Structure 1
Amino acid sequence: MTAFGKKSNYGIVDFDDILEEVGSFGKYQKLLIFLVFLPALLPDGVLVLNAVFMAATPADHWCQLPMENVTDKESVTNLLPRDLRGGVLTYSKCTMFNANYSSTDYQSIMESANNKSSTKNAQASCRYGYEYDHSVYENTIVTEFDLVCDKSLYAAASFTYFTLGGLFGPLFWGLLADRFGRRFGFFACVSFQSVFSIATPFAPNYVWYCVFRFCVGMTTSASYSLPMLMCVEISGPRARALIAVLCSTAYTCGVLLLGLLAYFVRSWRELGMYSSIPLAVIFVILYFFFPESPRWLLAHGRYDQLEVYLREVAKVNGKKLDAELDTNLSVVLQKITPEESTKNHTILDLFKFPNMRKKTAILVFVNFCNKGVFMGLNYYAPGFGMNPHLNFFLASVIELPPYLFAEFICDRIGRRMSLFLGMLLGSLVGLITAAVPGGSFTLILSLSLVAKFCITFTYLVGELMEDEIFPTVIRGEGHSITSAVSSLAGCVTPFVVQLGHSYLILPLVVYGCCCFSAAFIALFLPETANEDLPQTLEDGERFGKDMGCKDIFRFYVPKPKRTSERHQAVVASEHVELTNGFS
């Protein structure tokens, strides 16, 4: 018997060699990816960002007055105190005169409104409620629950509660996916998600809305990472960059569908229903076609199921296994499975060994910055200007161009340089906005879109590197820890965006600083292009361990470890040994 780590029978060392035999990216993988896994990703972007419209604050609001014969906006606002906003003296959005509007002489109130010396003591909060500008939104949770003025942070807080769910959910779903299988973990996650996404538009008040959004937030990281993880685990190394592009594109397509839906549906409750119920139906359909991960089956010693799977892949891909390999497939699979793979693992295992601990910490920080900036720019664009739907569309469609060349760039210059350059350029764009005049809305929007372009690219590369660095036995939980910690960025992001109401470019400067720090931290990660996926914790610790100080600023791309010609040569040269190995 050949020891693990040396060339075993048929030139097979690891599971990627097995995939070469049955087809590493053939018809079977393409059918599954395009018909099952990518459709499974479409709902994620919708459920993450539909709150941008459900919790939107209208462009304008003012105090409601109890005056039957004074109802139009101009007449009402003429009877309100004056505030200085943007250097212009205009009506107050949050105060009214401390008077009985139903009986006081209107002329006296008008005189008070025009009197610059009227004091704050003569003013009061809007005791009769608020009126809102409905030119863009028919209603949102802000208009229904009056989340303005002294409650203006409540809308931002609702996004924070959503991302707080991301602190707890990923750890649980990742544990399920690693212990009970990717398929079980995914459908447990989306079942939970569907219940609370459908419940959201029926929330009777602000508190229940936040509870439901918290529960949805527990699922969105896992409902994206698990289908992407499945795409990676059924395919060979050379398809991984393309897979990352396809998964990110599917997510963005979902976001664009949301923008189209939100343009036609301006009521938050209707938008909540239309953006959740159809998605639950998609998951029901996909349940019957979603397979188990072959790498998970291998890591947990499910050889019978894995054999059935591999034979099906070979059949669909038009590959014919060698007669002896076909007969002894179970033996070969057991040879490439170290005993350590069948053990149960926890997130703590990521921190047991120094090299694995270093890589995990770096990936956590990079994903923290990526997610914080990415989500922040999603919230930022619709938040200013008079056309939030157009701004949202532009901020979403700008995600597509990076996907067009991401595969080419990642494979040509490597993951590390791609991540470094993307982060560095994004940081420069964000910091440049500090020199832009506050009233240059078009220029600021354009710079925010360039920053979104960069962060979209680095977010994709960062997630790809997570798949390629975390070993199979704990890859699901590795994703969980990065998603959970990055949710802390999501908790802060809505309040960073809120700063833009006072100083428009401040959020972009903050995001620029985040990208700058992440760009240099990422240099301490090893290059993963064309490398085999680590299977065990031992593989994960070994990968990149010999990286020295000189390698930090050295950029290179390893050559592919196997080509079809080389693989055939290995099999031919070892044919005699292979035949005797089973005799």
Structure 2
Amino acid sequence: MRNFGQILKEIGEFGLFQKRLLFALCALNVFPSLDVIGQVYTGRSFPHHCNTDWILERGPNLTEERQKNLTIPVNEDGSFESCKMFTPVDWDLEDIEKYGINTTTKCTDGWDYETGPGDSTVLTEFDAVCDKNGLIAVSQSMSMAGILVGALVYGTISDRFGRRFAILLAISLLLVFGVATAFSPNIYVYMVFKFFCGTSSVAMTMNLSVLAVEWTDPSKSALCTMVILCFSSTGRMLLSGIAYLIHNWRILQLVLFSPLVILLGAHYWFLPESARWLLTHGRKEKAQKELQRAARINGRKLPEDLLDQVKLERTSERRNMFDIFKIQYLRKYTLIMGFIWFAVSLLFYGLSLNVGRFGLNIYLTQFIFAVVEIPANIGSLFLIQHFGRRICEACFLFFGGTACLVILAVPKDLPVVVTVIAVVGKFAVTASFSTAYVYAAELYPTVLRQNGVGLNSMCARVAGILAPLIWLLEVYHYTIPMLIYGIIPIAAGGLCLLLPETLNNELQDHTELKKPENKPMGESTCAESLMKHQ
């Protein structure tokens, strides 16, 4: 009795077909980061003050500096108030200059922004300042909430209707709502569009990595996942350059997401369905066509009777997310891996908030963040292939959490030392995130893989929403946020040691009542176990 791993050996485990597929998936994974990180540029803030052109009716030749001196209060540090102005009066200019105005009011005629030529952001266009200054943060939370919903919904869609359908749906929705965002008439519509963009952006990365893993040999699954994630960093580097050239947020939005039209058409004709998924859902004829196509591109020939030997791999059962919690070992995996994803995301956003103050401009800072992630992804690939997923994930979490705790011991007058330690921590958490993607996909059976990864991603999104709020605890004691960012990852690293190792183990296709044995490629798999039970 053959398993799917043996079928892959017949058609080619990592031939031209898999390499072409990987390239196509990498091209798509540029766009999720454009959606998530793009908000840094579209919601960029600028110094601002109340519009006080009312005084120009009395003195049309006033200089800008003199106008502000007469109409805008000054803070204790000598800067002009951003949200208050002197109350307009019916005096002539001489009286205003002689007596001054003693009463203040909120901005009544909008704001003036200190922007450069062509600068336009959501904040400046919709006046999301002063009483509305929290709306930009709310829009980011709405995007994260959309990512959370997408992690849940796309897991079910992918496991029920297939990986190909889920990816094409995600591309379509990100295209529609990404472009529609550029035509938002107000910030509230903008928030709704960002929510729907979020449902498809990061969920696309999950689906891409799962499809790549299911078409390749287990020894190459980590490579495929890491390469796909590296293109997410590449997307952020491209974003920095594009945003530097395009300062109008509406044009930027169109330039970022319009290319999805071309990719949607190309992937509609090229993108294959997962043959592994097709077999587990009893669609043998479709699976055979996909396998024959892969074999032809790889220069191999698929034996006609090969799939007849794996008929026990098929199943017409429909699984959903709740089935994960009905099986003891999957429930254990999910609780531990969910906490790991939560800790990784919490640490990632926690450190990002702390190391983002390099004193450089926003474009260069974001570029540096993206560059740091590439060696972290590549380095983690070599480490997890040599030492295994479990011990590496535990170590990455430990070092990342320890970095936060060490920062507390460094005097505040040594900012360079603090920054170096924080960058080391960011390196560790990036490697941890990459490993978590690989590890989670290998832990779950095919019939529940996307649901399992979706649940884990949901935990990460919850952490993403909470991470900025933890900084509010600083008002009670400055050490509290960093203690939380440090202790939780270390605890998750300890729990990680309770998970099984999956390095070079054949992917499981079906669920079992008991915890499956860790068997390397070539040995009997769950299909044979099911046959024995029957």
Q: Could you tell me which residue of structure 1 aligns to residue 136 of structure 2? A: 155
How many angstroms does 1:305 deviate by? 2.1
Q: Deviations over 1:32-66 (max 9, x none)?
A: 212x21112121111221111111222x2223323
Aligned partner (choices 332, 350, 358) of residue 309 of structure 2: 332
Aligned partner (choices 355, 368, 381) of residue 394 of structure 1: 368
Secondary structure at the aligned position of 1:218 is classed as helix
Secondary structure at the aligned position of 2:108 is classed as coil
Change (3 A) 1:95 1:22: same
**Where do residues 159-558 of structure 1 align in structure 2 (5 Å cutoff)?**
159-319=140-300, 326-335=303-312, 337=313, 341-375=315-349, 385=359, 387-435=361-409, 445-496=419-470, 510-538=484-512, 541-543=514-516
Q: Could you tell me which residue of structure 2 aligns to residue 547 of structure 1? A: none
- Give the conservation status (yes or no) of the 8 Å contact 1:39–1:250: yes
How many angstroms does 1:270 deviate by? 1.2
Cα distance between partner residues in 2 of 1:328 and 1:343 = 24
How many angstroms does 1:508 deviate by? 5.6
Q: Deviations over 1:178-216 (max 9, x none)?
A: 112111121122212211111001101010000100111
- Number of equivalences: 518
How many angstroms does 1:108 deviate by? 5.1
Aligned partner (choices 41, 56, 65) of residue 52 of structure 2: 65
1:83 aligned onto 2:75: yes
| Worse overlay, 484-493 or 157-166 | 484-493
Change (3 A) 1:260 1:366: same
- Give the conservation status (yes or no) of the 8 Å contact 1:156–1:495: no
Q: Could you tell me which residue of structure 2 aligns to residue 100 of structure 1? A: 89
Q: Could you tell me which residue of structure 2 aligns to residue 552 of structure 1? A: none
| Worse overlay, 459-468 or 96-105 | 96-105
How many angstroms does 1:218 deviate by? 1.0
Write the letter of the residue equivalent to 1:18: I
1:132 aligned onto 2:147: no
Give ranges in structure 1 of 5+ residues lacking alignment: 1-7, 113-121, 545-557, 568-583
Aligned partner (choices 15, 18, 25) of residue 37 of structure 1: 25
Cα distance between partner residues in 2 of 1:372 and 1:194 = 29
How many angstroms does 1:377 deviate by? 5.1
Give ranges in structure 2 of 5+ residues lacking alignment: 525-534
Cα distance between partner residues in 1 of 2:250 and 2:81 = 29
Secondary structure at the aligned position of 2:271 is classed as coil
Q: Could you tell me which residue of structure 1 aligns to residue 36 of structure 2? A: 48
Change (3 A) 1:494 1:477: same
Cα distance between partner residues in 2 of 1:429 and 1:124 = 47
Q: Could you tell me which residue of structure 1 aligns to residue 530 of structure 2? A: none
Write the letter of the residue equivalent to 2:311: Q
How many angstroms does 1:265 deviate by? 0.8
- Give the conservation status (yes or no) of the 8 Å contact 1:80–1:92: yes
Q: Deviations over 1:313-340 (max 9, x none)?
A: 333333456xxxx2421321214x16xx
How many angstroms does 1:308 deviate by? 2.7
- Give the conservation status (yes or no) of the 8 Å contact 2:151–2:457: yes
Write the letter of the residue equivalent to 2:89: N
How many angstroms does 1:542 deviate by? 1.6
Superposed CA RMSD in Å reads 3.1
Q: Could you tell me which residue of structure 2 aligns to residue 115 of structure 1? A: none
How many angstroms does 1:379 deviate by? 6.4
Cα distance between partner residues in 2 of 1:175 and 1:166 = 14
Change (3 A) 1:74 1:408: farther
Cα distance between partner residues in 1 of 2:122 and 2:175 = 20
Q: Could you tell me which residue of structure 2 aligns to residue 19 of structure 1? A: 8
Q: Deviations over 1:249-289 (max 9, x none)?
A: 11111111111111111111111111111233222222110
- Give the conservation status (yes or no) of the 8 Å contact 2:7–2:306: no
What is the TM-score normalised by the length of structure 2?
0.88
Write the letter of the residue equivalent to 1:328: D
Cα distance between partner residues in 1 of 2:413 and 2:251 = 35
Cα distance between partner residues in 2 of 1:268 and 1:438 = 37
| Worse overlay, 21-30 or 485-494 | 485-494
Cα distance between partner residues in 1 of 2:117 and 2:396 = 35
Write the letter of the residue equivalent to 1:198: V
- Give the conservation status (yes or no) of the 8 Å contact 1:297–1:306: yes
How many angstroms does 1:131 deviate by? 2.3
Secondary structure at the aligned position of 1:62 is classed as strand
